[in-house]
Amino acid sequence: MQLRVDARGQGGDKAPEAQGGGWSMQTVLVANRKGGCGKTMTAVTLASALAGDGHRVALADADPQKSALRWLKRRSGEDPEIVGVDWTRSGKIGDVPKRCDWLVIDAPGALRDDRAEALIAEAKAVISPVLPSVFDEDSTKRFLRDIEDIKRVRKGKVGVHLVANRVRPQLKATARLQAFFGGLGQQPLAWIGDRAAYSDLAEVGLAVFDRPQKQFEPMRAQWRPVLEVLGS
């Protein structure tokens, strides 16, 4: 798949580096075949962190539920700008606004093989949230196996990173999740706590990086290893 600059961008069928003459864009795909594991929350959090750092960010929603686009609609004009892109129809996958530094893609839960391939085609990294639950662990194993079949992943051209989400340290499920990562031979990049603030902020189109308040700092700190891997 080649990313295409949309009608406003007048770029035609050009690779992202060619946008606006030498513009280079990096793409991160947030995906896991399990529904409800925090894909949208992760996508909007990363988009807001990157936008807050002064990057021009597009958020592509490939999920028919359009939760990421709905989140964007709730956002006020005073918050760092994030450009929404609707990728819910397969013909639209690959359309990107002009001159973006970052493209964050929110994948649907049920990721068909052909769509997975199209979505991974341009990604620099895949970030996959995993909840502390046996069902999520099973789905994650299958997801990792499935995407391993995609050539770019097999060849190591795209990094696939796990993020433990909704972690509550005192719970037995968290210890089991730790054992799961051990068995997998892949540690998560980050352990993200279970905090009501994520949904409270999402209700008004915000994420933890949009607000400077000290109370959100421990939450922001948990995301930093993810941003470091992205090179931001």
Ligand X SMILES: Nc1ncnc2c1ncn2[C@@H]1O[C@H](COP(=O)(O)OP(=O)(O)OP(=O)(O)O)[C@@H](O)[C@H]1O
Q: Which residues bind Mg ion (CB under 5 A)?
A: 39-40, 67
The listed partner (Mg ion, ligand X, none) that binds 102, CB under 5 to 8 Å by sort, is: none
Rounded to the nearest whole angstrom, what is the least distance from the CB of residue 191 to ligand X in the complex? 10
Which parts of this chain interact with ligand X (CB under 6 A)?
35-41, 63, 65, 67, 109, 165-166, 192, 194-195, 198-199, 202
Between 67 and 232, name the residue whose CB sits nearer to ligand X: 67
CB of 23 to ligand X, least distance (A): 29
Q: How far is the CB of 199 from ligand X (least distance, A)?
A: 4
202 binding partner (options ligand X, Mg ion, none; Cβ < 5 to 8 Å by kind): ligand X
- Cβ atoms of 129 and 31 closer than 8 Å: no
Q: How far is the CB of 14 from ligand X (least distance, A)?
A: 30
Nearest to Mg ion by Cβ — which residue? 40
Q: Which is nearer to ligand X, 104 or 202 (CB)?
A: 202
Min dist. Cβ of residue 31 to Mg ion (A): 10
Q: What are phi and psi of 102, to 5 degrees?
A: -135, 140
Nearer to Mg ion, 32 or 40 (CB): 40
Residue among 5 and 69 whose Cβ is closer to ligand X = 69
CA angle 139, 206, 55 (to 5 degrees): 90
